[in-house]
Chains A and B, each alone.
Chain A
């Protein structure tokens, strides 16, 4: 967009920006990363995409961001090396939305376990949302696309479960006080009809 007011993400002057939200997106070797970027309620030019491993090494990259989105990817958050990024973002009290692998990283950073579940890839599931602070528009059921074979288990404070499948698999978590949430499913998929609405809900809540 011509004439946009946002400064480059890394600028120390970012506080002077005019209402734009600068997003740091952690890319984790996935083939759905740009789908997530495209689903955010911001312009693509306001999203800085960096490999998750790079942000894990250079946590100063977090300093220019208004919102951190930890994207999906294969393996698990320990092997992907991104749990430390969630911990660093929590110290800075930065809003953070984790998707799939990013959701699992959020769980591991706050004491949950990661377990194998029956793999579900490319299938839509009805998910029950229990009502939450960071997704106020979502109570009740919504169909979302799933791509995972691992899931969080043993969620404990300060996290709590805000959505699950009918067979009890954790589908979303939220922090009690910090602006941090995780989604196990893919709101970015074409087969998640209310996915963008869900992400927009989070951005409004943490703005």
Chain B
């Protein structure tokens, strides 16, 4: 299927291999519904998980996609106004005991291009596991190259995989040796344990992997694995309500970090840093919508961010944002 054909559809979701596609899954004609066997679930960053949009597709079919062979490069401008000052404010709040880590994000403006072009660019060195192009019934639209598994469920088992810690390809040794990156991930690992415990049987939540490296074409990332056994009566949407917005994109403690984000970031994140999931029967898979571009009236806004801790230096954090721009 040619990607450009999707442009004519009023609503659809094209989902990459991590959602169970082969290699893609195309859902057409999304309709609000909460009781179907197969649901697409979407939560904006600002909305509590309990208010996630639940959509059932008119049709769902596996599909292959013809990408543009040489997608044209896009004009991308990072808008990091007053960034060093914001990092300084977060470091002072940390020194004062108010917060432990804040995920600070900025937007890169992509001046032109269609969803098909952006997805082609994002997939040119291999399809990201949670690649997605979604147009909702209200006409809003986003494209994601997320490598981050927010969480998945299978029967009563739940697994979360927060991502924190970034390096350029080839800098794996430095990443593994970095105390700062280790601490950023450890903090969010403890936070996700806490959030999962809300919906799990007591004393079943544990850390299966403290730290492992994921290799992406443009970056190395570290993740941890936290697993648990869900309480009787709990379903994937309850897990979403407990975990959203994901700790890896808020910081810790979550409420204090969210208060700082509201103060420091001029724009809502919207789809960026939100959650996108497929619930099918007893199974579900949710991606955390990082590396995500949302269509705006001025073009596309691609979000990039990083966890600011007391050891953060503004220049090093900006370098990390540029590594993440490499997904485009």
Kindly list chain A residues whose C-beta atoms are within 8 Å of the C-beta of B195.
Answer: 31, 34
Per-position binary interface string of chain B over residues 180-224, scored 1 when its CB falls under 8 Å from any chain A CB and 0 otherwise: 001111110111011101100011011100100000000000000
In the complex, residue of chain A having the shortest beta-carbon distance to the beta carbon of B189: A190
Q: Does B96 reach chain A (CB closer than 8 Å)?
A: yes
Choice from A34, A75, A121 contacting B101 with Cβ under 8 Å? A121
Report Cα–Cα, A2/B187, bound state, in Å: 35
Interface size on A, residues (CB 8 A): 31
Given the known interface contacts A35-B190, A149-B310, the answer about A74 and B197 at a Cβ–Cβ threshold of 8 Å is: no
User: Interface code A24-38, partner B: CB below 8 Å = 1, 0 otherwise?
Assistant: 000001111111011
Contact B99 A74 (CB under 8 A): yes
Shortest CB-to-CB span from A52 to chain B, Å, is 13
The answer to the question of A73 belonging to the interface, with a C-beta cut-off of 8 Å to chain B, is yes
Contact of A119 among B94, B203, B205 (CB under 8 A): B94
> Whole-angstrom distance between the alpha carbons of A190 and B193 in the complex?
9
Q: Given the known A-B contacts A74-B98, A147-B100, are A35 and B183 also in contact in the complex, defined by CB atoms under 8 Å?
A: no
Bound together, the chains give a CA A145 to CA B310 distance in angstroms of 16
- Chief secondary structure at chain A's binding surface: mixed
Nearest CB in chain B: distance from A129 CB, A: 22
The reply on A44 being an interface residue by CB < 8 A is yes
Q: Which of A121, A149, A186 gathers most chain B CB within 10 Å?
A: A121
Q: B97 in the interface, Cβ–Cβ < 8 Å? A: yes
Is B290 an interface residue when CB atoms closer than 8 A count as contact? no
Shortest distance from the beta carbon of B87 to any chain A beta carbon, whole Å: 14
Chain A residue nearest in CB terms to B192: A31
Pick the contact of A149: B97, B189, B254 (CB < 8 A). B97
**Nearest chain-B residue to A124 (Cβ)?**
B186
Q: Given the complex, which residues of B lie within 8 Å of A118, measured CB to CB?
A: 310
Q: CB of B255 within 8 A of chain A?
A: yes
* Chain B hits for A35, CB < 8 A: 190, 193-194, 197
> A118 CA to B256 CA in the complex, in Å?
20
Across-interface contacts of B247 in A (CB, < 8 A): 31
Q: B65-108 toward A: CB 8 Å interface, digit per residue (1/0)?
A: 00000000000000000000000000000111111110000000
- Interface set, chain A 58-117, CB cutoff 8 A to B: 73-76, 116
- B253 lies within 8 A of chain A by Cβ: yes
| Chain B hits for A73, CB < 8 A | 253
Given contacts A35-B197, A38-B197, A38-B203, contact A75 B190 (CB under 8 A): no
Which residues of the partner chain B approach A119 to less than 8 Å between Cβ atoms?
94-95, 310
A38 to B200, CA, bound (A): 11
Q: Does A201 sit at the interface, judged by CB under 8 A?
A: no
B5 cross-chain contacts in A, Cβ below 8 A: none
Give the distance to chain A from B229, nearest Cβ to Cβ, in Å.
13
**Residue B121 is within 8 A (CB to CB) of chain A in the complex:** no
Inter-chain pairs besides A31-B191, A145-B186, A149-B95, 20 sampled, C-beta below 8 Å: A31-B247, A31-B253, A32-B190, A38-B197, A38-B203, A73-B253, A74-B99, A116-B96, A119-B95, A121-B183, A121-B187, A121-B309, A121-B310, A122-B187, A145-B190, A149-B97, A189-B186, A189-B190, A190-B207, A191-B210
A residues touching B (Cβ–Cβ < 8 Å)?
29-35, 37-38, 43-44, 73-76, 116, 118-119, 121-123, 145, 147-150, 186, 188-191
19 contacts between A and B (CB under 8 A): A31-B190, A31-B194, A31-B195, A31-B254, A32-B194, A34-B193, A34-B195, A34-B198, A35-B197, A74-B253, A76-B97, A116-B95, A122-B183, A145-B186, A149-B96, A189-B190, A190-B207, A191-B186, A191-B190
